[in-house]
Amino acid sequence: MRWQCASFTELSPVELYQMLALRCAVFVVEQDCAYQDLDGLDLNPGVRHLNLWQQGKLIATARLLGPGVQAADQVWIGRVVVAAEARGQGLARELMQSALAEVQAIWPGYPVRLSAQTYVCDFYRSLGFVPLGNEYLEDGIPHQEMELRCSA
């Protein structure tokens, strides 16, 4: 397995295609949710894409949004996906631990936020995230904003 943390412009066309295809397969097809995945943020120079490759195939990905992308004083993690065929192997935890390590290395000291689908809130709690505010609907799916405070 190989980890990759890259900006949009550092991704090859094949890598980009696989990343967008995986996100679409899970968020649009599997979860039956019509939404605009291509929201313009992937192109932002303050965004990194964390990808896990196995034998040339993308099996997990997350989008890391640096300070100033969503909010001046926060880092966000989003588009967290593990391919259906790779689930049940602890890769979601490994993906999030790698994402948090990258965030700390690139943007140390910033609080990290995410918008969690409520059915996985306990998973994010196990990583140290705490809920903020009330549950809300995003694209018809219940979500909960969560935060992890990082030390510098």
Residues in the chain: 152
Tell if the pTM clears 0.85, that is, is over it.
yes
Topology of domain 2-148 in CATH is Aminopeptidase (3.40.630)
Given this model, what pLDDT does residue 149 score?
Answer: 76
Closest CA to 51 of 8, 114, 115, 111: 8
C-alpha dihedral, 107 to 128 to 24 to 75, nearest 10°: -20
> Which portions of the chain are predicted below pLDDT 50?
152
Local structure of 146: helix, strand or coil: strand
Write out pLDDT tens, residues 50-85.
999 999 999 999 999 999 999 999 999 999 999 999
